[in-house]
Amino acid sequence: MIPKDHPRYRSLIIRERIIEGFRRGIVSEAGLIAHGRGECFDYLLGEKTHPFAEEAMRAAVAMMKLALRPVISVNGNAAALVPKELVELSKILNAPLEVNIFYRTEERVQRIAERLREHGADEILGTDPAFRVELENISHARRYVDRRGIYMADVVLIPLEDGDRTEKLVEMGKKTIAIDLNPLSRTAQKAHITIVDNIVRAMPRMIEIAKEMDEEEAKRVLENYDNKRVLAEAIRTINKRLEELSRRIF
Ligand code: ATP
Ligand code: MG
């Protein structure tokens, strides 16, 4: 048990959820490492949602609202951390969930789908080999997408995605929305909208935004959005924070 007054209580609780996900076969070994990388950037960000992330979330919801075929891609870490929120956002935005994992085993795909079903998901894409399409020029295990999902999608939400696949999706003409704590990752840099925030804070906030935003507002939000500015702001924020913290020491 982690004592509630531990200064890093929340971070440790989230870490426990990842470890539990690993034990249940939902999170991969590489997912554990990816989580540690995320923790590091969250530490640099002060473990809070900044205005640049809020702005990106609003644009993300707007883009998904205006999309013809939005899809939410789900990997092991996302399913371990925010299963309930993934299901809820999927229902509000009418965007199916697709299991889409880097280190693919059929068992892990089924475990992830099971976890989403436990949290109320009805239909889950990416699990039925009959609808599997192979992408070209991408290595074996991670090149599969669902014909009814990501393959046909115009907008894809990719929480915690790998850079290669983000690049591939962009190349295929998809609009991509990343949730990634590292503003320097290839995913963060390649996506059309980059939410530099922890998925555990971003998903509940996106649900709130999705409940409030109408189409008119969505159009307005998207027109005024500039991802380059938002990404630069994220990097600058880390920079400023480090400057301040170092000055406090000397
Ligand atoms: P890229 O492949 O995009 O260049 P990478 O190889 O460094 O990045 P991956 O393991 O491919 O990283 O992707 C995992 C990404 O998810 C990392 O950038 C990490 O910071 C981020 N991440 C990990 N945990 C979280 C979380 N809870 N919320 C948001 N982002 C996270
Ligand atoms: Mg990577």
Which band of pLDDT confidence, cut at 50, 70 and 90, is reported for residue 3? confident
Q: Which SS3 state, helix, strand or coil, does residue 133 take?
A: strand
Q: Give the model confidence (pLDDT) of 221-250 as tens digits.
A: 999 999 999 999 999 999 999 999 999 999
Among protein residues, the one whose CA lies closest to atom 2 of ligand 1: 163
User: pLDDT over 90 for what percent of the chain?
Assistant: 87
The whole-number average pLDDT for the span 55-59 is 98
Choose among 24, 131, 42: nearest CA to 83.
24
Going by alpha carbons, the residue nearest to atom 1 of ligand 1 is 163
**Spatial CA neighbour of 65 closest among 38, 93, 37, 91:** 93
**For residues 59 and 222, is the Cβ–Cβ distance under 8 A?**
yes
Answer whether residue 140 shows pLDDT above 70: no
CA of 142 to the centre of ligand 2 (A): 12
What is d(CA 238, CA 246) in angstroms, rounded to the nearest whole number? 12
37 in ligand 1 pocket by Cβ < 6 Å?
yes
Judge if the beta carbon of residue 181 lies within 6 A of ligand 1. yes
Supply 170's token pair.
Answer: 């962009």
- 194: Cβ below 6 Å to ligand 1? no
Neighbours of 92 (CB within 10 A): 16
189 Cα nearest atom in ligand 1: 3
Ligand 2 center–CA 34 separation, angstroms = 9
Nearest CA residue ID for atom 8, ligand 1: 185
- Rounded to an integer, what distance in angstroms lies between the CA atom of residue 4 and that of residue 45? 22
Please report the domains of the chain, with CATH numbers, ordered by start residue.
51-238 (3.40.50.12640)
Count of C-beta atoms within a 10 Å radius of residue 11: 17
Q: For a pocket test of ligand 1, which of 73, 162, 168, 198 has the largest count of ligand atoms closer than 8 A to its C-beta?
A: 162
Does residue 158 line the site of ligand 1, with CB under 6 A?
no
Chain mean pLDDT for the chain: 95
What does the alpha-carbon distance between residue 135 and residue 132 come to, in Å, rounded to a whole number? 10
For residue 82, the tally of other CB atoms under 10 A from its CB is 24
Ligand 2 center to 164 CA (angstroms): 7
179 within ligand 1 shell (Cβ under 6 A): yes
User: Is residue 172 classed as helix, strand or coil in its secondary structure?
Assistant: coil
Residues 6+ apart with CB under 8 A from 156: 70, 71, 72, 73, 150, 169, 174, 175, 176, 177
The reported pLDDT for the residue numbered 141 is: 62
Residue-wise pLDDT for 77-102, tens only, equals 999 999 999 999 999 999 999 999 88
Give, in order, the Cα–Cα distances in Å from 162 to each of 126, 130, 204: 17, 25, 23
Ligand 1: residue whose CA is nearest its atom 7: 185
Ligand 1 neighbourhood includes 163 CB (under 6 angstroms): yes
Could you please report the per-residue DSSP string of 175-241?
Answer: EEEEE-S-TTSHHHHHSSEEE-S-HHHHHHHHHHHHHH--HHHHHHHHHT--HHHHHHHHHHHHHHH
Residue 2 has pLDDT above 80, yes or no: no
Nearest atom in ligand 1 to 190's CA = 3
Q: For 57-97, give the DSSP string.
A: HHHHHHHHHH-SSEEEEE-HHHHHH-HHHHHHHHHHHT--E
